[in-house]
Amino acid sequence: MYLVVRSASAQAEPIRVLVTGAAGQIAYSLLFSIAKGDVFGKDQPIILVLLDIPPMLPVLDGVVMELQDCALPLLREVIPTDKVEVGFKNLDAAILVGSMPRKEGMERKDLLKANVAIFKSQGAALEKYAKKTVKVLVVGNPANTNCLIASKSAPSIPKENFSCLTRLDHNRASAQVAMRVGVSTGDVKNVIIWGNHSSTQYPDVNHALINLDGEEVCAYDAVKDDSWLKGNFITTVQQRGAEVIKARKLSSAMSAAKAICDHMRDIWFGTSDGEFVSMGVYSTGNSYGVPDDLMYSFPVMIKNKSWKVVDGLSINDFSRAKMDATAAELIEERDTALAFLGVE
């Protein structure tokens, strides 16, 4: 007599996960991790939907072939498409990587105008075709404002279901502190990225803890260099993306893909007790005086696929000024974007 044991993956229903800009370099670093179970779980089958613009479809075919050739047990289906009605149908998760890149000589407002149109249409597609429970992560820049526009264009999907990527900045900050102290990044927790995913972001370690020989020590005591933490540390994290472009002649891809995986995995499975992570989320009635109706990066804890801003952290004058400056930039971006849409 033989006993047949069914694995959990044989029983679980596949989830539909969309990646836009799927022929691009971030997606190329991202798709394998999603398809092999690093993000949504080792027993969760996946239907991967890959959306890109028509000229990129031949490249997308090559990506599909490679995914097939990986022979990944959890990957049930790969659907390449340039049509939103296919791409956004019945989604459980949407990772919006594709956006209009900034070209040489392009004004920021021109970049904003092009992306407002893209993310308005993608928000409308989410509204029309996706599940109302869909979790949406916006990566394409300017990520915070693109995320806000997408959420406003999908009014029946809760604002809480939308977030934008500041985990890359968070990971950069953790890594800088870890290298400075000489510990693993796993020994650093609770750094914060406040505000916009731009050069005005504020990497804050006032509440960060470092594990030194089994004891949790606050970052300022572990680093023992206040001028670095208030100076070069902040500018290094703020300018890191530009430095990568300068060195590679391409924007961050591997590290961006890793951050996307971290962000979505935390949404799916929650944060560890006593730990918080950084995420661009909808600002409404927070305890930090951040204006409402922005997608602003806060420290959050996540449980049962719902995030909550970590309230009650002390904010000194230095931090307050940095938090206000990045909020001012986001207000300007939002108002410019809404003017393009003809929305008050």
Is 6 annotated to bind a ligand? Reply is no
| Rg value, the chain, Cα | 20
- In angstroms, rounded to a whole number, what is the distance separating the alpha carbons of residues 326 and 334? 12
Residue closest to 193 by CA, chosen among 288, 300, 286: 300
Residue 15 pairs with which residues in a beta bridge?
A: 46
Cβ 334 vs Cβ 184: under 8 Å: no
φ, ψ (nearest 5 deg) of residue 47: -105, 115
Please report the beta strands in 247-309, taking only residues with DSSP state E, as ranges in sequence order: 277-282, 295-303, 306-309
**3-state secondary structure string, 135-164?**
EEEECCCCHHHHHHHHHHCCCCCCHHHEEE
Tokens representing 244 are: 């990568």
Residue closest to 49 by CA, chosen among 82, 73, 25, 9: 82
- In angstroms, rounded to a whole number, what is the distance separating the alpha carbons of residues 230 and 204? 9
Is 52 annotated to bind a ligand? Reply is yes
Fill in the DSSP letter of residue 40.
T
Is 190 annotated to bind a ligand? Reply is no
Cβ 90 vs Cβ 127: under 8 Å: no
Is 108 annotated to bind a ligand? Reply is yes
- In angstroms, rounded to a whole number, what is the distance separating the alpha carbons of residues 282 and 145? 11
Residue closest to 219 by CA, chosen among 205, 230, 239: 205
Q: Which of 170, 197, 207, 263 is catalytic?
A: 197
DSSP element (H, E) containing 47: strand 46-51
Residue 278 pairs with which residues in a beta bridge?
A: 299
- In angstroms, rounded to a whole number, what is the distance separating the alpha carbons of residues 172 and 240? 8
Is 102 annotated to bind a ligand? Reply is yes
DSSP element (H, E) containing 18: strand 15-20
Based on the residue annotation, tell me whether 170 is a catalytic residue of this protein.
Answer: no
Is 76 annotated to bind a ligand? Reply is no
Is 196 annotated to bind a ligand? Reply is no
**Number of C-beta neighbours around residue 292 at 10 A:** 10
| Active centre residues (catalytic) | 197
Residues contributing to the annotated binding site for substrate: 102, 108, 141, 172
Residues contributing to the annotated binding site for NAD(+): 52, 115, 139-141
Residues contributing to the annotated binding site: 52, 102, 108, 115, 139-141, 172
